[in-house]
Amino acid sequence: MSEQNFSKLLAPLDLGFTTLKNRVLMGSMHTGLEEHPDGTKRMAAFFGDRAKGGCGLIVTGGYGPTERGATHPDTKMIETAEDIAKHRIITDEVHKYDSKICMQILHTGRYAFNGSPIAPSAIQAPINMLKPEACTVEMIEEEICGFVDLALKAQEANYDGVEVMGSEGYFINQFTALRTNQRDDEWGGAYENRIKLGVDVVRRIREAAGEKFIIIFRLSMMDLVEGGSSFEEVVQFGQAIEKAGATIINTGIGWHEARIPTIQTKVPRAAFTWVTAKYKEHFNIPVITSNRINTPEVAEEVLQNGDADMISMARPFLADADFVNKAAEGRSDEINTCIGCNQACLDHIFSGKMTSCLVNPRACFETEINIIPTKTVKKIAVVGAGPAGLSASTALAEAGHEVTLFDGESGIGGQFNIAKQVPGKEEFEETIRYFGRQLELTGVTVKLNTRISANELNNSDFDEVVIATGINPRMPPIEGVDHAKVLNYIDVLKHKKAVGKKVAVIGAGGIGFDVSEYLVHSGEATSQNIAAYMKEWGVDMTLKARAGIEGVKAEVSAPAREVYLLQRKDTKVGAGLGKTTGWIHRAGLKSKKVKMLSSCEYHKIDDAGLHVSIAGEKQILDVDNVIICAGQDPARELIEGLNKPYHLIGGADVAAELDAKRAIKQGLVLATQL
């Protein structure tokens, strides 16, 4: 039970013509439900659950104002009376719970993958294969009309307002920055010309929609790219937006093409609220802050500090629909916290898959995955209290089964206890905390320090066994692999065995990267130190540098060790990492001078070091230690001699390519089927 009352976070916000019941905004996320054939029903359930869970104001995923402004050729547009009627089903569901909902209007400009992107100037984005067409003046007018038209359709569908996306390097932001706007007409050149698009869009929506319609403008407060706006320019833009009729200003940090992580797990919590704070005093309308705020405690602190009037959280609402109610009821220890991994949300959406959440596989599957009370109560043993076993045991108990959870270790969490040792992955502890509380709430009997055998299970009265015993680290058959200088990742991360100053890591998968990250740090993890983080990534906290970065040199502390990270494949090292996070891992190690090498053939390990051919060239790496991170095999020893019905989940089922996302989902889905 939390003592905190979250007085600021839960305070209503009076907007003059309407009042928001609290200071929590669920930020915009395109989920993929928009285009799904069953999308209306599923979005009504998805947003309805978040409204029921107490969120004051919800913003939908971005809708394109025109075909050329839409993200993809198959992006769902809102055109017909039937489309509007479908959206009323969604808004009705949200309004049932006294929450409000705005539609986001997102014009992607040169970031569009729709086959014919447009932009202020024909300058290609580094993250798009296609060069955009420069807009004519007539085209700009057409796009503005598209914004206004969509806002009116949203109003007809009973949305309480719209959010105009003016940040993250999208169309409106492309007009503001010299980087992307090199026009010499009335839409380019002087800053007042470059901000005219955003200002005109807001003014004309206000004129068309009337006074009683929320207009949120997402303002790029720090572009984090060369040629972005300066602090003074952003103030000028925000003030013009306010004058044009915006109700609220929301914060945007960094363009998509920026090479500074802004939301991934290694970004400190609330890392960018200092930016919003610097602008807030220049505006008279409420200002929202965002980025890596994932607990009510942090959100409250940000508001108490006066950094903003309201908090935007997006992914935390994938992780837990009841975030606000749990906080309000003193149950914040029951919140399933977003760990910033991006694995089931952003990585999915950028690979054309439906968004969900690693820690909450029900996100966006609210109508598909549901725990239904069982009619036949079974006695079930779940062996292994890693993510898979925790998910299965709590869900099985919630369904009404009698569940006993066994683990040989003294604590729950399985490999997450190892993962959380890695600098920047401390958030993984939150998932262990969440499940620990769920075990108490659902009444699972937990037996720790109990390595259970097939024989013991056979002689028990359990009806069924869930085997969630995880993995065994793979030991590759390299000559000398039993040499004293050879360790594996468990020796290093869990048993904290001493490691020398020069190290070769064999295997460059997720774990090889994590171990390298751990080894190059000398205990001064910057993951919760905002000032150190900004220094490391070259961000100017005085905001004197244009776009927060121009002319600023990153200051990276010297690596604690010299590390070689090796793989056999001839592909780029790290190519298999997460779509939206792989570049961050690579950039982090590069800045710490880790030598990432592909096309390696391992010959032997001896006193001299690791004998290896790299791209066919034989050499000896004279390292103090060789650390094996060569993948994992399922740990299924328990099956041998087990004569009870059993189910394999998590790493015990598939270790190759397996991750916690699959482990947690498999546990939950199994529980819905037993």
69 contact partners, CB below 8 Å, separation of at least 6: 106, 107, 108, 109, 112, 118, 143, 146, 171
Least distance (Å) from ligand NAP to the CB of residue 338? Answer: 15
433 contact partners, CB below 8 Å, separation of at least 6: 333, 337
- Between 341 and 534, name the residue whose CB sits nearer to ligand SF4: 341
- CA 75/CA 153 separation, integer angstroms: 17
Q: Are 463 and 645 in contact (CB under 8 A)?
A: yes
On the 0-12 / 13-18 / 19+ scale of CB atoms within 10 A, 507 is buried
Least distance (Å) from ligand SF4 to the CB of residue 650? Answer: 17
Q: Are 466 and 393 in contact (CB under 8 A)?
A: yes
Residue 386 contacts which entry, ligand NAP, ligand FAD, ligand SF4, none (Cβ below 5-8 A, type-dependent): ligand FAD
**Stretch of 234-242, 296-304, 353-361, 395-403 lying at the interface with ligand SF4 (CB under 6 A):** 353-361
- Asked if 267 touches ligand SF4 (CB under 6 A), the answer is no
x-marked contacts with ligand FAD along 613-652 as a string, rule CB under 6 A: ----------------------x--x-----------xxx
- Name the region of 231 (left: φ>0; alpha: ψ -120 to 50; beta: rest): alpha
Q: Which of residues 464-483 bind ligand NAP (CB under 6 A)?
A: 474, 476
Q: Which of residues 567-586 bind ligand NAP (CB under 6 A)?
A: 567-569, 577-578
x-marked contacts with ligand NAP along 83-112 as a string, rule CB under 6 A: ------------------------------
- Asked if 429 touches ligand FAD (CB under 6 A), the answer is no
SS3 content of the chain, % helix, strand, coil (to 5): 35, 15, 50
Query: From the candidates 63, 111, 159, 170, which is the catalytic residue?
Result: 170
Q: Which of residues 360-389 bind ligand FAD (CB under 6 A)?
A: 383-389
**Which residue's structure tokens are 């109508």?**
367
Q: Which two tokens stand for residue 591?
A: 């800045």
494, 659, 669, 672: which one binds ligand NAP (CB under 6 A): 659
Least distance (Å) from ligand FAD to the CB of residue 632? Answer: 8
Residue 318 contacts which entry, ligand FAD, ligand SF4, ligand NAP, none (Cβ below 5-8 A, type-dependent): ligand SF4
**Stretch of 133-141, 370-378, 466-474, 527-535 lying at the interface with ligand FAD (CB under 6 A):** 466-474
Residue 383 contacts which entry, ligand SF4, ligand FAD, ligand NAP, none (Cβ below 5-8 A, type-dependent): ligand FAD
646 is a catalytic site residue: no
Among 154, 149, 146, 211, smallest CA distance to 172 is for 146
Q: Which of residues 468-507 bind ligand FAD (CB under 6 A)?
A: 468-471, 493
The gap from C-alpha 446 to its chain's centroid, in whole angstroms, comes to 31
Handedness of CA 443, 447, 452, 455 (dihedral sign): negative
Handedness of CA 467, 471, 472, 474 (dihedral sign): positive
- Between 105 and 341, name the residue whose CB sits nearer to ligand SF4: 341
What 8-state DSSP symbol labels residue 115?
S
Among 90, 92, 91, 101, smallest CA distance to 20 is for 101
What 8-state DSSP symbol labels residue 241?
H
- Asked if 120 touches ligand FAD (CB under 6 A), the answer is no
166, 169, 286, 340: which one binds ligand SF4 (CB under 6 A): 340
- CA 495/CA 487 separation, integer angstroms: 10
Q: Which two tokens stand for residue 654?
A: 């598939």
- Asked if 514 touches ligand NAP (CB under 6 A), the answer is yes
- Asked if 338 touches ligand SF4 (CB under 6 A), the answer is yes
Residue 339 contacts which entry, ligand FAD, ligand SF4, ligand NAP, none (Cβ below 5-8 A, type-dependent): ligand SF4
- Asked if 409 touches ligand FAD (CB under 6 A), the answer is yes
- CA 627/CA 368 separation, integer angstroms: 43
- Between 249 and 419, name the residue whose CB sits nearer to ligand NAP: 419
Q: How many CB atoms lie within 10 A of CB 53?
A: 20
- Between 244 and 390, name the residue whose CB sits nearer to ligand NAP: 390
Q: Which of residues 376-415 bind ligand NAP (CB under 6 A)?
A: none
- Asked if 605 touches ligand NAP (CB under 6 A), the answer is no
Residue 256 contacts which entry, ligand FAD, ligand SF4, ligand NAP, none (Cβ below 5-8 A, type-dependent): none
C-alpha distances in Å from residue 260, one per residue of 14, 346, 539: 35, 16, 9
- Asked if 341 touches ligand SF4 (CB under 6 A), the answer is yes
- Asked if 319 touches ligand SF4 (CB under 6 A), the answer is yes
- CA 374/CA 367 separation, integer angstroms: 18
- CA 592/CA 577 separation, integer angstroms: 19
x-marked contacts with ligand FAD along 514-553 as a string, rule CB under 6 A: x---------------------------------------
> Residue 176 phi/psi, 5° resolution?
-75, -25
On the 0-12 / 13-18 / 19+ scale of CB atoms within 10 A, 616 is exposed
Give the total of residues touching ligand FAD (CB under 6 A).
Answer: 39
- Between 26 and 205, name the residue whose CB sits nearer to ligand SF4: 26
* Residues in a beta bridge with 505: 565, 627
Q: Which two tokens stand for residue 55?
A: 């969120």
- CA 275/CA 320 separation, integer angstroms: 27
Q: For binding to ligand FAD (CB under 6 A), which residues are involved?
A: 341, 343, 383-389, 406-409, 414-416, 418-419, 422, 451-452, 468-471, 493, 510-511, 514, 635, 638, 650-652, 658-661, 663
Residues marked as catalytic: 170
Q: For binding to ligand NAP (CB under 6 A), which residues are involved?
A: 343, 474, 476, 506-512, 514, 567-569, 577-578, 629-632, 657-659
